[in-house]
């Protein structure tokens, strides 16, 4: 029998349909169920801790807010309990959660099969490599984003006592600005968006590096750089900041209108004064306004008459200096949230699309 006399394949073999999406979804679950379970267990453990501390924080705040007078010993004790309960208030100890999810759930998605070589077998199963990549990325991305969204709702409840408009607990500093660093990206839509972006960064790193451990390290580094650049340079410039003139006490004396200062500068006669020159002027002015101390008794009296920084600043304005402050109102929390969540979602989609394109381009 020659090649020309070999019978053709049956008609039904020529019309084989690709593997359906639901079957590939089952395969994805079987392969990554431990990673998804790990994400749920991790967030669940942290959520239990936040819930327990949140209950204590809410009760402590209610008791301290109802205590009068606030300067009494009993009220001071209640305020101290509230302060201890607000250990998570700075939020920096939760900043690593999205990065860890991206490293441990996103980086191994493709890197593990590329590193072990099992992708060659997977690409011969009649599903197609680009559909194979999509079936892995999309369900996992949706799952981790949904889990992060639920966790962020719990964090919003936890922080609720710290963001009340009228905070009577002013005897000690508690971060209560919704735009503050370490708190903004833990609430609203930002936390879920950052988690999705971290997952996409991990998936792309795994496709490019093809080594699980190296991809995890690159994911952590890339996420840290992106988060740092966003918090330091981007977030407070999504919307044009407001500008105040010689508002020295505005940012301290009005807790109902918390703001985040973007930048400050001085001018004199319409010309901007450099920070170094302004520091010299402020220091020299403060020294001139300081009383001369001749004895211990005079020193005690002079200490009561020493000028405060606020007095020095007012003195400078009377001599032609003007301080300008650009700031963002905390009332812009949700517009800034949607802007940041939007571009992070677009970035995640772009990174996953690039990952799928690289899968299609890669030679088996």
Residue 100, pLDDT > 80, answer yes
Closest CA to 207 of 147, 141, 139, 136: 136
- What integer is the mean pLDDT of 104-130? 76
pLDDT single digits (tens) 58-94: 888 888 777 877 677 877 777 777 766 565 555 677 8
- Segment 15-24 shows an average pLDDT of 59
At 3 the pLDDT is 44
Mean per-residue pLDDT, 1-16: 44
**Torsion (CA) 92, 327, 235, 185 in degrees, nearest 10:** 30
Q: Give the pLDDT band of residue 17 (cuts 50, 70, 90).
A: low
d(CA 165, CA 226): 32
Find all residues with CB under 8 Å of 51, minimum gap 6, and list them: 154, 158
**Mean local confidence (pLDDT), 290-314:** 55
For the cut 90, the answer to whether the pLDDT of residue 221 exceeds it is yes
Q: Is the pLDDT of residue 173 over 50?
A: no
Distances (CA, A) of 328 to 167, 209, 324, 341: 20, 40, 14, 18
Stated length of the chain: 364
Q: Where are the domains of the chain?
A: 20-239+332-361, 244-331
Q: What is the model's pLDDT at position 218?
A: 96
Question: Which residues, in sequence order, are CB contacts of 318 under 8 Å at separation 6+?
Answer: none
Q: How confident is the model at residue 37 (pLDDT cuts 50, 70, 90)?
A: confident
Q: What number is the average pLDDT over the span 163-180?
A: 53
Tokens of 29: 């679950």
Mean pLDDT of the chain: 78
């Amino acid at each position: 029998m020659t090649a020309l006399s070999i019978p053709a394949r049956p008609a039904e073999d020529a019309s084989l349909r690709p593997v359906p999406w639901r079957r590939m979804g089952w395969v994805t679950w079987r392969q990554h169920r431990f990673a998804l379970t790990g994400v749920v267990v991790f967030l669940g453990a942290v959520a239990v801790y936040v819930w327990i501390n949140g209950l204590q924080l809410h009760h402590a705040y209610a008791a301290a807010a109802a205590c009068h007078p606030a300067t009494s010993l009993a009220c001071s004790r209640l305020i101290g309990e509230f302060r201890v309960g607000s250990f998570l208030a700075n939020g920096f100890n939760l900043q690593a959660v999205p990065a860890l999810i991206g490293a441990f759930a996103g980086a191994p998605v493709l890197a593990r099969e590329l590193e072990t070589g099992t992708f060659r077998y997977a690409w011969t199963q009649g599903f197609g490599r680009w559909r194979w990549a999509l079936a892995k990325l999309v369900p996992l991305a949706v799952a981790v984003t949904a889990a992060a969204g639920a966790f962020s709702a719990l964090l919003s409840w936890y922080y609720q006592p710290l963001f009340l408009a009228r905070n009577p607990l002013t005897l000690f500093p508690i971060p209560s600005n919704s735009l503050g660093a370490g708190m903004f990206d833990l609430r609203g839509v930002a936390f879920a968006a950052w988690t999705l972006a971290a997952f996409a960064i991990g998936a792309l790193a795994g496709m490019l590096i093809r080594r699980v451990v190296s991809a995890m390290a690159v994911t952590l580094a890339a996420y840290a750089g992106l988060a740092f650049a966003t918090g330091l340079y981007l977030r407070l410039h999504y919307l044009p900041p407001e500008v105040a003139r010689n508002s020295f006490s505005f940012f301290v004396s009005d807790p109902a209108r918390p703001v985040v200062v973007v930048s400050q500068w001085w001018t004199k006669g319409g010309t901007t004064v450099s920070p170094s020159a302004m520091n010299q002027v402020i220091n020299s002015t403060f020294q001139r306004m300081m009383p001369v101390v001749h004895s211990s008794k005079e020193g005690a009296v002079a200490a009561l008459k020493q000028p405060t920084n606020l007095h020095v600043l007012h003195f400078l304005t009377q001599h032609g200096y003007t301080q300008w402050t650009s700031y963002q109102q905390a009332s812009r929390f949700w517009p800034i949230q949607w802007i940041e969540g939007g571009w992070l979602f677009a970035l995640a989609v772009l990174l996953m699309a690039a990952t799928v394109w690289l899968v299609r381009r890669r030679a088996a």
